[in-house]
Amino acid sequence: QVQLQESGPGLVKPSETLSLTCIVSGGSISSYYWSWIRQPPGKGLEWIGYMYHSGSTNYNPSLKSRVTISVDTSKNQFSLRLSSVTAADTAVYFCARSVSQVSGYDYWGQGTLVTVSS
Amino acid sequence: EIVMTQSPATLSVSPGERATLSCRASQSVSSNLAWYQQKPGQAPRLLIYGASTRATGIPARFSGSGSGTEFTLTISSLQPEDFAVYYCQQYYSWYTFGQGTKLEIK
């Protein structure tokens, strides 16, 4: 059974960089697409970006200038960096898997709340 | 950006009855649409992809239909565990979600 687990600081100061890691267990990170999705408290879902196991990436145009997603296949994990954060970036951040670029997300992490505050 | 609009925002239905949730895309997404269920404090759960294909392990009471810009999720006989928030998502051009429909007990 594939499992995803997010980890990282729960509190980030404004203007700093948010960094999260998603550890994939029960399956290989190869041959799938790995995404980050966020959900502000009480609101809907926003796709941040994805990467393929080869390292190719695609980002939400509205966040592209601030987002970097990377993979470490040796550790079976991938990471998110979001720079210059503001209070508007406060959200639950989920990592998720999709079989292809044109499919739904079949496995999700439990999510981790990141609060941007001084 | 393709905007997904779900209706109604809240739907009140009694257990055992049928629920019909709608999702409209601002432009055609063909059949590149998924439905998710989300319960409080949990991650979304994939129900339907390709507009009408049930994901692994999803009960047959969940069905999806539609193509182009109009889509429907139907739950044929509501069970207590079905009361949750439901989201549609298009993956035709980038990825955008609807704002959600809260399905509550009547």
Residue A2 has pLDDT above 90, yes or no: yes
Which of A44, A96, A108 shows the shortest C-beta gap to B100? A44
Do residues B52 and B64 make contact, with C-beta atoms less than 8 angstroms apart?
A: yes
A36, A43, A105: best to mutate for the B interface, most B CBs within 10 A = A105
Contact state of A45 with B91 under an 8 Å Cβ cutoff: no
CA–CA distances in Å: residue B44 to residues A63, B2, B16, B61: 22, 21, 23, 18
pLDDT band at A102 (very low <50, low <70, confident <90, very high): confident
- pLDDT at A101 exceeding the cut of 90: no
- Give contacts of B32 with chain A, Cβ < 8 Å: 102
pLDDT at B9 (0 to 100)? 97
The 3-state DSSP class for residue B82 equals helix
∠ CA A75-A12-A41, rounded to 5°: 95
- pLDDT value, residue B103: 97
Q: Can you give the pLDDT at residue A53?
A: 79
Tell me the per-residue pLDDT of B4-36, one tens digit each, with 9 for 90 and over. 999 999 999 999 999 999 999 999 999 999 999
- pLDDT at A86 (0 to 100): 98
Longest dimension (CA), chain B: 38
State whether residue A10 sits within 8 Å of chain B by CB: no
In this predicted model, what pLDDT tens digit does every residue of B73-91 receive, in sequence order? 999 999 999 999 999 999 9
Tell me the chain A residues in contact with residue B43 when contact means C-beta distances shorter than 8 Å: 94, 96, 108-111
| B49: its two tokens | 């992809």
pLDDT tens-digit series, residues B48-63: 999 999 999 999 999 9
pLDDT at A31: 82
| pLDDT score, position B15 | 96
- Candidates A78, A76, A71; CA nearest to A20 is A78
User: How many contacts, defined by CB atoms under 8 Å, are there between A and B?
Assistant: 54
Note the pLDDT tens digit of each residue in A32-91. 999 999 999 999 999 999 998 788 899 999 999 999 999 988 999 999 999 999 999 999
Residues in chain B within 8 Å Cβ distance of A110: 42-43
Q: Which residues contact A19 (CB under 8 A, 6 or more apart)?
A: A8, A9, A79, A80, A81
Q: Verify whether the Cβ–Cβ distance A105 to B98 is below 8 Å.
A: no
CB contact under 8 A, A103 and B94: no
Peptide bond into B44 cis (omega under 30): no
pLDDT attached to residue B80: 95
Question: What pLDDT score does A67 carry?
Answer: 98
The pLDDT score that the predictor gives to residue A55 is 82
Question: How far is the alpha carbon of B26 from chain A, nearest alpha carbon, in Å?
Answer: 17
Q: Following DSSP, what letter does each residue of B37-69 receive, concatenated?
A: EE-TTS--EEEEETTTEEPTT--TTEEEEEETT
